[in-house]
Amino acid sequence: MFARPTHARSLFVTLILLAALDAAATSRPDASPGTPKLALIVAIDGLSWERLDSFRPYFEDGFKRLLDEGRVESACRYRHLNTETGPGHSSLGAGAPPRVTGIVANRWFEARPDGGLRSVSCAQQWDPAPVPGKPPLFYREVARDGRLYVFALSGEWERWQQSGEIGLASTRPNAGPDGETLVFDSPDAIRLFNWRHGRPEETFPPAATITGPGNLRVPTLADRLVEARPGARVVALSAKDRSAVFLAGRDARHAVYWYDRDTGRFVTSPAYDVNRGAGPTAAAVVREFNRTQAGARLVSRFGLTWSPSPPPPAGPALPVAPRDLFDYQLPAQGIGFPHDLSRDPAGYSAGFYVSPFIDELLADLALALLESEALALGRRAQPDLLLLSFSAQDLVSHSYGNESDENVDTLRRLDRQLGRLLRALERHVGREHVALALSSDHGFAAIPEVHRRDHPGASAGRLVNSERAVPNFVERLNRLLVDELCLPVGTRAIFGVEGWSLTYNRPAFPLRRVEGPCGPADARLEVGVLDEVLPRVITRHFAEELESVLPVALRDTWPRTRAAEFALNDLDPERSGDAFLVPRENVLMHWDPARGAGHGSHYDYDAHVPLVFWGGRFPAGSVSDDSTPHDVAPTLADLLGVALPDAVGVSRLRPEASSTLRPQSPRSRERRSEAAASAAGTR
Ligand SMILES: [Zn+2]
């Protein structure tokens, strides 16, 4: 029952599909009868193809139906480095890798206006239009000693009462209503003061950040859809803000919601306008959902503990994780079933986030939105787009490992949620009017310590990237560079690492040498010295974890390897740093020195992900030619009659997507290019 289709059958199905779809594609006028009424991207955060395929016997509902009834592309691979959530979801949303979307990692370092460097989170942007008093709602005016103190930050007000000091005061001499000197604790205090006293507004450089798509460099499928078809509605949901934001995109008319770990409710941000597009109707549904099914209702609906689902009555026995995984799991909600979600140091709604219940809650909200007659998704003249990202697979795998019992239970539960989703789509829209693409933002690595234990001699390990771990990877590297270059003790030549992207501390250059084995003191070292010295230092001290380093300035000389191809697809001169590290297999860059798992590399366990198309226009079948998640948006755009000029992927409905352009698998191409590179002596 789980036999793979033969190659001949898959080729036959491909040819039939292509003939049928090519004919359909050539007759694709605006809003043709064949245009889907509802397109969906369903992302399963952290799900590799290998995990989906090997767990196939345990699926009975949604995953089973998608794999049995859908067009299953079994050779879908990312081709960019930093296989992480932000890059993956923006690739799915826009149909292009990070070098185009600009979302090069979950965080990166970029230049500050004053020439320094700052750490940036991918889904944080400057507040485009801060509204007085929102937030904060605090406001105090206090007259004292001929001055009028104005506070909009309660903490500053409390501090001032105790110490008489204000952190970042800004003053306006003799500008008060009675000629007093005004002292403000923040720009918000100035805005509120002017507003309350009927004075003209002052403009400030934006000071606050909000969650939003501002870092995205190109429009997404959703952006192009509402531009081409005004009236089309876009709704995006996820447990994670960045997943919802980057599946949706930049248009303020999109309704974009994610789970707030503090309150257990779904929230949005001022980057999206709740008064336009899908905004008002979606907001009403979400408000009612938060009141009746989320927030304070979570405990009574889901309980305090997460216990495994009962085993299936028939079918193969479930895989059982070895008990000795316990030493390598993160213990926030306890080790081993049952997990007490209220034990999370950040509280129950934060513990809930790291459980499969978060997927069920997301499915509940998706169904509430699909059922809404006011929103009427997929039931109006223009096609709509529903974007869903289920996060539990990723969150659970980070804590307990991709090979854990928790992971099995999470995917079995998600299987049922996807089944509910498919049935709701059939009920409210009709399968013939649906075009659904299921994929993932990245796969997952094994817990390295477990992998090494079970595979003696295999490469595996972790480099630690956390302020709490001393010394972490960047500190170790900086100390080694001090020795190598004869720098003053404490010199920080490397600013930081995010994913596998290393950022030099450019503002600190030129550096000055101290006298020693390198020669006399005071020689000036320019930043290019790092490009020279890093490969040597990495080879000498990190050979177990790292294969090589690829300095961006020397990219014309990079070997033509798979890792280099992945790095080039992540290259954004302002964001992706100064060098890419190439990890060995099963090596993580991780925040915990000994526990938990992760992802981010160019290896297949991170890059090879599912791609399944399901719905009216997709006959069942298996396609084994190369594809990439960058093809998702172009394929749906093709069906929706929307142009995606910034996309790099291609529509899987076009004949050239399957045969002409990609005759080889990435593995065979990699082997060939590595052979060619070593023959040419470039390695
Ligand atoms: Zn992810």
Name the pLDDT band for 208 (thresholds 50, 70, 90): low
**What pLDDT, on the 0 to 100 scale, is given for residue 563?**
97
Residue 134 has pLDDT above 60, yes or no: no
The larger pLDDT score, comparing residue 249 to residue 669, is at: 249
Sign of the alpha-carbon dihedral angle for 374, 376, 379, 380: positive
Name the pLDDT band for 616 (thresholds 50, 70, 90): confident
Question: Which pair of tokens denotes residue 406?
Answer: 């928790």
Instruction: Please state, in angstroms and rounded to a whole number, the distance separating the CA atoms of residues 512 and 507.
Output: 13
CA of 394 to the centre of ligand 1 (A): 6
Residue 129 has pLDDT above 70, yes or no: no
CA of 622 to the centre of ligand 1 (A): 26
Residue 499 has pLDDT above 90, yes or no: yes
CA of 442 to the centre of ligand 1 (A): 6
> What's the average model confidence in pLDDT over 9-34?
43
Residue 17 has pLDDT above 60, yes or no: no
CA of 443 to the centre of ligand 1 (A): 8
**What pLDDT, on the 0 to 100 scale, is given for residue 676?**
34
CA of 362 to the centre of ligand 1 (A): 16
Mean pLDDT over each residue of the chain, to the nearest integer: 88
Which secondary structure element, helix H or strand E, spans residue 75, and what is its range?
Answer: strand 71-77
**What pLDDT, on the 0 to 100 scale, is given for residue 200?**
84
CA of 200 to the centre of ligand 1 (A): 45
Residue 553 has pLDDT above 80, yes or no: yes
> What's the average model confidence in pLDDT over 185-208?
78
Residue 25 has pLDDT above 70, yes or no: no
Name the pLDDT band for 141 (thresholds 50, 70, 90): very high
Nearest alpha carbon to residue 577 among 532, 539, 531, 533:
531
**Helix orientation angle between 279-292 and 357-371, rounded to the nearest 10 degrees:** 130
CA of 462 to the centre of ligand 1 (A): 19
CA distances from 504 to 278, 402, 477, 553, 572 (A): 44, 33, 11, 12, 15
CA of 388 to the centre of ligand 1 (A): 13
CA of 170 to the centre of ligand 1 (A): 42
Q: Could you write out the DSSP letters of every residue in 137-160?
A: ---EEEEETTEEEEES-HHHHHHH
Residue 331 has pLDDT above 50, yes or no: yes
Could you read off the pLDDT of 278-313 as tens digits, one per residue?
A: 899 999 999 999 999 999 999 999 999 999 999 877
Mean pLDDT lowest among 4-18, 77-91, 238-252, 643-657: 4-18
**What pLDDT, on the 0 to 100 scale, is given for residue 257?**
98
- What is the percent of the chain with per-residue pLDDT over 90, rounded to a whole number? 70
CA of 411 to the centre of ligand 1 (A): 15
CA of 116 to the centre of ligand 1 (A): 29
CA of 45 to the centre of ligand 1 (A): 5
CA of 676 to the centre of ligand 1 (A): 34
Residue 547 has pLDDT above 90, yes or no: yes
> What's the average model confidence in pLDDT over 573-581?
96
Residue 31 has pLDDT above 60, yes or no: no
The larger pLDDT score, comparing residue 33 to residue 683, is at: 33
Name the pLDDT band for 172 (thresholds 50, 70, 90): confident
The larger pLDDT score, comparing residue 25 to residue 564, is at: 564
CA of 225 to the centre of ligand 1 (A): 25
CA of 258 to the centre of ligand 1 (A): 14
Length of the chain: 683
Mean pLDDT lowest among 40-44, 196-200, 635-639: 196-200
Is the separation of the CB atoms in 197 and 209 below 8 Å? no
Name the pLDDT band for 657 (thresholds 50, 70, 90): low
Residue 650 has pLDDT above 50, yes or no: yes
CA of 96 to the centre of ligand 1 (A): 17
CA of 547 to the centre of ligand 1 (A): 24
- Please report the beta strands in 593-633, taking only residues with DSSP state E, as ranges in sequence order: 608-615, 621-623
CA of 88 to the centre of ligand 1 (A): 7
CA of 485 to the centre of ligand 1 (A): 38
CA of 445 to the centre of ligand 1 (A): 12
Instruction: Please state, in angstroms and rounded to a whole number, the distance separating the CA atoms of residues 463 and 245.
Output: 30
Could you read off the pLDDT of 88-110 as tens digits, one per residue?
A: 999 999 999 999 999 999 999 98
**What pLDDT, on the 0 to 100 scale, is given for residue 26?**
31
